[in-house]
């Protein structure tokens, strides 16, 4: 069994350490935590489409191909990237767990289109943050980023040191992988309902409401709430998330 974790924006592979601590210690489980801000083939120089092609190849190389049972877990931006990987090659993944993930705007646009007011507003917002991460003082941009309403009620993220990142890479990720550039993934959710495990923090008001709407928009869709968690589930409730993954793996190992 191969387990692949995709971190969020500003994330690091070590973000998953507390979650991994609650997984079964068994020789039959291999865990991979790629740093897509460091690996060139998985970085934001690539569009969603090309990234998915590269990541599928990465999984096939590291995980032994489609003959192995691969479970993919993506958080926030990592969840949106995971959706594109699932779309690219569904047969490669046995299950895909998406945590605090946005399926995209509910429209017919494949990428940014100024006709869409929602997409135009999101593009302007992400472009603003891209400029901030590129040029603003590091401590100030982190403080302002963490003050956004979507992160309300969360435990503090781990310390994020500027030297761990390329600011150019972070800036590019915000525009290249902007929600304004992402197509509506509801059709994929409907096709792959049996493979999906959708998790959202019970205090994450925006994503909880989004998940409730998805139950009306996508036939067969359902989601699970993580108690005492806001958007940053893996920091608020690493034990509960690890336990949920462990339950899934025990059925497969």
**pLDDT for residue 153:** 66
Q: How far apart are CA 93 and CA 10, in angstroms?
A: 25
**pLDDT for residue 110:** 81
**pLDDT for residue 112:** 77
How far is C-alpha 117 from the geometric centre of its chain's CA atoms?
24
Report DSSP state, residue 114: T
CATH number of the structural domain spanning residue 74: 3.40.50.1820
Least trusted range by pLDDT, from 57-71, 96-110, 177-191, 200-214: 57-71
**pLDDT for residue 5:** 98
**pLDDT for residue 49:** 96
33 phi, psi to nearest 5 deg:
-130, 75
Partners of residue 30 on adjacent β-strands:
2
Place of tokens 């935590």: 33
The model's pTM is 0.95
Q: Long-range contacts of range 51-55, CB-CB < 8 Å, 24 or more positions apart?
A: 51/81, 51/84, 51/177, 52/81, 52/84, 52/85, 52/87, 52/88, 53/88, 55/81, 55/84, 55/85, 55/88
Q: How far apart are CA 83 and CA 102, in angstroms?
A: 10
Nearest CA among 240, 233, 127, 245 for reference residue 177: 127
Instruction: State pLDDT tens for residues 18-71.
Output: 999 999 888 888 999 999 999 999 999 999 999 999 999 999 998 876 656 899
**pLDDT for residue 214:** 97
Domain total in the chain: 1
Q: Is the pLDDT of residue 221 over 70?
A: yes
Nearest CA among 39, 38, 24, 36 for reference residue 71: 24
Other CB atoms within 10 Å distance of the CB of residue 246: 15
**Quick one: CA torsion of 38, 31, 74, 247, rounded to 10 degrees?**
-170
Angle between helix axes 138-146 and 117-135 (nearest 10 degrees) is 150
Handedness of CA 113, 119, 121, 126 (dihedral sign): negative
Q: How far apart are CA 238 and CA 15, in angstroms?
A: 10
- Contact criterion met (CB below 8 Å) for 72 and 82: yes
Instruction: State pLDDT tens for residues 75-99.
Output: 999 999 999 999 999 999 999 999 9
Q: Is the pLDDT of residue 174 over 80?
A: yes
| Strand order from edge to edge, sheet including 196-201 | 30-32, 2-6, 70-75, 95-99, 196-201, 224-226
Least trusted range by pLDDT, from 108-117, 200-209, 232-241: 108-117
Could you tell me the residue range of the domain that residue 164 belongs to? 2-250
């Amino acid at each position: 069994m191969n387990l692949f974790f995709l971190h969020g924006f500003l994330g690091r592979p070590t973000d998953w350490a507390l979650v991994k601590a609650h997984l079964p210690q068994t020789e039959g489980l291999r865990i991979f935590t790629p740093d897509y801000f460091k690996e060139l083939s998985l970085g934001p120089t690539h569009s969603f489409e090309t990234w998915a092609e590269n990541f599928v190849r990465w999984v096939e190389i590291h995980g032994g191909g489609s003959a192995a049972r691969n479970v993919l877990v993506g958080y926030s931006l990592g969840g949106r990237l995971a959706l594109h990987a699932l779309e690219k090659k569904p047969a490669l993944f046995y299950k895909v767990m998406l945590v605090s993930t946005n399926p995209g705007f509910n429209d017919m646009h494949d990428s940014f289109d100024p006709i869409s007011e929602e997409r135009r507003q999101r593009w302007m917002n992400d472009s603003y943050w891209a400029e901030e991460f590129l040029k603003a003082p590091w401590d100030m941009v982190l403080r302002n980023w963490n003050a956004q309403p979507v992160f309300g009620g969360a435990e503090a993220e781990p310390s994020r040191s500027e030297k761990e990142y390329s600011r150019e890479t972070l800036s590019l990720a915000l525009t290249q992988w902007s929600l304004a550039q992402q197509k509506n993934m509801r059709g994929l959710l409907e096709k792959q309902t049996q493979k999906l495990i959708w998790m959202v923090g019970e205090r994450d008001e925006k994503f909880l409401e989004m998940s409730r709407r998805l139950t009306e928009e996508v036939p067969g869709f359902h989601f699970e709430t993580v108690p005492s968690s806001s958007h940053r589930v893996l920091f608020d409730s690493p034990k509960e998330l690890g336990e949920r993954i462990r339950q899934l793996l025990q059925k497969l190992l």
